[in-house]
Structure 1
Amino acid sequence: MAGESQADCLFCKIVAGEVPATVIRDSETMTAFRDINPQAPTHVLVIPKAHYPDAATLAAAEPQLAAEMLREAGEVAEQEGIVASETGPGTGYRVVFNTGHGAGQTVFHAHAHVLGGRGFNWPPG
């Protein structure tokens, strides 16, 4: 059932402490950890502790929790020093939600990729 931990989910196992991860932030509702296959100098995953298969499902079921995930992504960027401003040293960052196999989602637990530390082209891909 959505929201409940899934025994076969890698990210649920990370939340439970059954699988190691380099956790950089942890709250009552969110966990943020470094991606094991980084695509940028900073690549952190932000996940809700509740299990939802993707960000759209999470947003439909618990919009407040989806908003919390975005806020946490911003906190990660701030902590990692990648927030760009007119006067700050940061490079800027990208928040990515992959939804479905065709979009590159490999773990079906809602998560946001926080990427930064280098320039990004547009359009992506």
Structure 2
Amino acid sequence: MTPVDPHQPYDDDNIFARILRGDLPCEKVYEDDWAFAFHDIAPVADTHVLVLPKGRYVSWDDFSANASAEEIAGFVRAVGTVARDLDLVDAGYRLINNIGKDGGQIVPHLHVHLLGGRAMGPMLSAN
């Protein structure tokens, strides 16, 4: 897949936009006015959920620069709610947000990977 330029225009046909519209199925975990969460189809941990803001934001950079304070607060609170609802807080969990080419972003819609259910190990390998 082609890496995402974090400054590119929003693509209304990206896979996450299609999931948000209901054009593609998913295993929904959570939804409110600000966010939508669902299980990743290729999980890398026992729990692997993607949390997306409902707005048209390509990257964290786009979101942090252009979203309203209400959207930002709503999204951040939703991520915390999902982690609590999945009973991940006591054992711990990891949040990952990939931005741009070097960050490994491949879908041009801001999303956070919420990973839990096992020890994650080091953040990056030494290689």
Q: How does 1:1-125 map to 2 (within 5 A)?
A: 6-62=11-67, 64=69, 65-84=71-90, 91-125=91-125
Aligned 8 A contact 1:55 1:66 in 2: no
**Quick check: 62-71 or 42-51, which moved more?**
62-71
Aligned 8 A contact 1:5 1:50 in 2: no
Relative to structure 1, is the Cα distance of residues 82 and 107 closer, same or farther in structure 2, using a 3 angstrom cutoff? same
Q: Which runs of 5+ in 2 are unaligned?
A: 1-6
Deviation at 1:103, TM superposition (A): 1.6
Equivalent position SS for 2:29: strand
Q: Percent same amino acid at aligned positions?
A: 35
CA–CA distance in structure 2, aligned partners of residues 66 and 55 of structure 1: 10
Q: Which runs of 5+ in 1 are unaligned?
A: 85-90
CA–CA distance in structure 2, aligned partners of residues 110 and 38 of structure 1: 18
- Tell me the C-alpha RMSD between the 2 structures: 2.0
Encode CA deviations 1:44-88: one digit per residue, 9 max, x unaligned.
11101111110121011115223322221111111111112xxxx
CA–CA distance in structure 2, aligned partners of residues 69 and 31 of structure 1: 9
The normalised TM-score by structure 1 is: 0.84
Task: Supply the AA of the counterpart residue of 1:68.
Answer: G
CA–CA distance in structure 2, aligned partners of residues 5 and 11 of structure 1: 11
- Relative contact order (alpha carbons < 8 A, sep ≥ 6): 1 or 2 greater? 2
Deviation at 1:115, TM superposition (A): 0.6
CA–CA distance in structure 2, aligned partners of residues 99 and 67 of structure 1: 20
Aligned 8 A contact 1:73 1:95 in 2: no
